[in-house]
Structure 1
Amino acid sequence: MTLRFTKGHGTHNDFVLVADTRGDLDLTPDDVRRLSDRRGGIGADGVIRLAPTAAIARAGESVADEVLADEPAAIWFMDYRNADGSVAQMCGNGVRVFAAFAERTGLADLADGEELALGTRAGVRRVRKEPDGWYAVDMGAWHLPGGEDAARAGADAAVAAAGWTAPRPALSVDVGNPHTVVALARDDELAAVDLTLPPQVEPLPPEGTNVELVVPLAEAVDSDGRPVGRLRMRVHERGVGETQSCGTGACAAALAVRTWAGAAADAVVPDVWEVEVPGGVLRVRVLEGGHVELAGPAELVFTGDVEL
């Protein structure tokens, strides 16, 4: 079979994108691994299949029924697979690239402030295009799995990484998928961490977790004089390894640092955060109603054909 694909990335978190508008393409885990292979395939952190939400529902995924019940306009579904072939709930950088891909293929129009509602395994996601060309996504509700106890303690897990002499305390954050965030003190400490091996997390969530290592930076101010939080991050994604960026990870990292900052009684805690990742800069905004927004660029690099 010859498959038409597009290669895209969001702050160098890269994807192979396939438009399956009839919903009849069955990509096996082996297909995904071959497409994602950086030496024997196209090369990517994962594969995104654009398919009709109704087709995903017919295939037996109840979450697609829930998506259509919540938002009938979410006619397209982001079927996301990690590079190892495993299924993932969603991907924040991938949602933006998905929106750009839907525009390119004529399946969405985000001009003049129009919004794209799309389905994911984490529920409905809504995307709008900003005047500077960035895409902003309402990532939905977030929460701390450890609840108020974890917020007060600042941690509910421990992470051990290659080269560390002892595990470090970490905070679990759920942004539609699981994350575990560790604070480090300095840039050189962040740069020295060996992420060629997966960090060990205790307790490990049932479906695994993404691990973010963060260094909080000095705050900035926006044009209205309001504080803007800043942090630098590296990430190890489950099923992938270290990536140049992770959208949901950027959200989780900002929310964790915001939680830690809120422990100071006199702190003015920012609602907007700039997150520096190896692949660029993302913006995270805490919204009303317990939601969080992610904004950043989305680039479509090339299109071609590959034989499966």
Structure 2
Amino acid sequence: MTAPLHVTKGHGTQNDFVLLDGRTTPPLDTALVRSLADRRAGIGADGVIRLTASAELPEGAALLRTEPGAVWFMDYRNGDGSIAEMCGNGVRVVADYARSLGMWDPAAGDLVLGTRAGVRRVRRVEPPTGSPAADWYAVDMGEWHLPAGQQAAAVGADAEVTVAGLAVPRPALSVDLGNPHTVLALADEAELAAADLTAAPDVRPVPPHGTNVELVVPLGETVDQDGTPVGRLRMRVHERGVGETRSCGTGACAAALAVRTWAGDGSPAVWLVDVPGGTVRVTALPGGRVELAGPAVLVAELYVDLDALAAV
């Protein structure tokens, strides 16, 4: 009989994950990830994250040569078992997981975390007034860019996306945050609700490594209590290798950055992004970087019978 596998379940704005402690669990394989993520025969999750020593993985060892503080690495897999470069909600959730395991003390400074998209620095922050009770974390998501460059920024698009439920293909803008995104704007929330994301949208030209597709509706701007202009938008997302999810952290960043690009000079640096699972805050930083802030919640610890899981 195989020994039970200890796991934790957590989510960031309902983008949910199965979390494993790499100090006591072996490397992930595709079959195990798919079984754990299965919502009927497993635990159920959008992805599986193994928090492990950076030195254990080639990608982590490479980061340590320039970032010796990145001793821990987020080994992330999509629900279908495929390896993913990054997950903005996952970074916050794994930071809360590291805190719960005693691997990081927020009071001592930032968590320096290795990912396949580079090092991410995480700190605990105060939640906005009126937010549901949960710890909030802010993540420096690193540099972002438009793969098609300034020409795409000037035109506003470099791709065309066909979405079931919408009458015609829509122009879209590609945004790279270490993983690929394609963002298209819709006229109103009725169109957003009509979109059918049970199937992957058709993106042309076809992205070589697939893409996450964000559908956005800009909701205007307000001024915060301290006088800071704040934009707001609503978003749905189809994640590569997963399907529609309740939230996507890198997708929220891509959506805000795309809307900011379309709006032009003078648009807000801070954006609140409403997703089906809640709200996150995206801040465009100097130097072409971006920060994502939002809640992280650990909801359960449990033991998985691997023999039963494998028998399905």
TM over 0.5: yes
Q: Which amino acid aligns with 1:126?
A: R
- Once the 2 structures are TM-superposed, how far is the Cα of residue 242 of structure 1 from its aligned partner? 0.2
User: 1:60 is matched with which residue?
Assistant: none
TM-score, structure 1 normalization: 0.94
How much does 1:203 deviate?
Answer: 1.1
SS at match of 2:57: helix
Question: Hey, what does 1:226 align to over in structure 2?
Answer: 228
Aligned residue number for residue 130 of structure 2 = none
CA contact (8 A) 1:66 1:123 kept: no
Moved more, 78-87 or 66-75: 66-75
- 1:86 counterpart (82, 87, 91): 82
CA–CA separation in structure 2 for the residues paired with 1:159 and 1:283: 26
**1:1-308 alignment, distance < 5 Å:** 1=2, 2-21=4-23, 25-57=26-58, 63-111=59-107, 114-132=109-127, 133-262=135-264, 268-308=266-306
1:141-192, CA deviations, whole angstroms, 9 ceiling, x for partnerless residues?
Answer: 0000010000000000000011233210000000110000000010011011
| Distance in 2 of aligned mates of 1:65 and 1:49 | 16
Counterpart-to-counterpart distance in 2, 1:26 and 1:247: 25
Q: Percent identity?
A: 65
CA deviation string 1:11-68 (max 9, x = no partner)? 000000000126x6132101100000000000000000011000012xxxxx323311
1:47·1:81 contact (CA, 8 Å) conserved in 2? yes
Note the residue ranges of structure 1 that are not aligned, 5 or more in a row: 58-62
* C-alpha distance in structure 2 between counterparts of 1:70 and 1:173, whole Å: 26
Would you say the 8 A contact 2:165–2:195 is kept in 1? yes
Counterpart code for 2:305: E
Deviation at 1:102, TM superposition (A): 0.2
TM-score by length of 2: 0.93
Distance (whole Å) between structure 1 residues aligned to residue 208 and residue 53 of structure 2: 29
| CA RMSD, Structure 1 to Structure 2 (Å) | 1.1
Confirm or deny: 8 A CA contact 1:70 1:124 kept in the other structure. Answer: no
Task: Report the alpha carbon displacement of residue 224 of structure 1 after superposing the two structures with TM.
Answer: 2.1
Aligned-partner SS, 2:65: helix
Separation of aligned partners in 2, 1:138 and 1:162: 34
Structure 1 stretches of 4+ with a deviation exceeding 4 A read none
